[in-house]
Amino acid sequence: MPDPILQTVDLGKTYGARRRFWQKPANVPPALADATLELRQGEILGVVGESGSGKTTLARCIALLERPDTGRVLFEGEDLTKLPEAALRRRRRYIQTVFQDPYSSLNPRQRIGDTLAEVMLVHGLASRGEQRDRVAALLEQVGLPATAAANFPSAFSGGQRQRICIARALAAEPKVLIADEPVSSLDVSVQAQIVNLLLDLKERLGLSVIFIGHDLQLINFIAPRVIVMLGGRIVETLPEGSSLADAKHDYTRALLQAVPTLEKLDAAYRLSQQQNMA
């Protein structure tokens, strides 16, 4: 079994717990509590839960976009939460995030080529002479032509923008990719394309991926292991080789029941037809 490339130990995060330094902490429930997980080298780990379950807070704390209040984030055995800002910036490029909304994730006033080149410049990964070729290669990796570099985000559809966001994450040459509900804002016809792209990139580049979503069946299809979150806590882990039928927690079963099937959609349609005729 491959060694874990990333681990979290008892991660916790609470928002708005203290208004002024002299005031007592408010009684605010944590957005994330006691989150312990491990991501193995080269695997896809699924994280599932409904809105407000703590999935995005977990993602932001893992990527150190926000400092957790408690716990540790271990990347290749090193505790990132103990690093000073300068050292953290150097290490954090290895953990990149693709966010849910591709429309708000890109600067509308910046050409796509400049967006990708900026990442390389910040991390010192390519000289100015090398950036053009590197940008073209990144766009090709995500299924877009090199000519896309000259355009602004407004020239692209939602699915194309998400491909650009993936290319921007890859520009940092990460080892871990966190996909935070990367298809939930896209049309159903485009979702499969983005999922297949991520699976292909994982195989070609040897990435370790945390795939976050609320569709339990989709997550179970993508990821051999699945973590289920509720109220900021991990309530169940479906191990590799298990099926959805093996779920033990009532919440996991409720998520499974909530997934629309053809039978459920047909029943809902028939009911709506009967109500319209009444």
pLDDT band at 187 (very low <50, low <70, confident <90, very high): confident
Please give the model's pTM, rounded to 2 decimal places.
0.87
The helix/strand/coil state of 212 is strand
Averaging pLDDT over each range in 48-52, 55-59, 119-123, 183-187, which range is the top one?
Answer: 55-59
CATH of the domain at 182: 3.40.50.300
Q: Which residue would you say has higher pLDDT here, 127 or 167?
A: 167
Domain, as residue range, for 15: 4-277
Residues 59 and 143: their CA atoms lie apart, in Å, by 26
Residues 149 and 160: their CA atoms lie apart, in Å, by 12
pLDDT band at 159 (very low <50, low <70, confident <90, very high): very high
- 191-232 pLDDT per residue, tens: 989 999 999 999 999 999 999 998 888 888 899 999 999 999
The structural domain count of the chain equals 1
Closest by alpha carbon to 75, among 125, 3, 124? 3
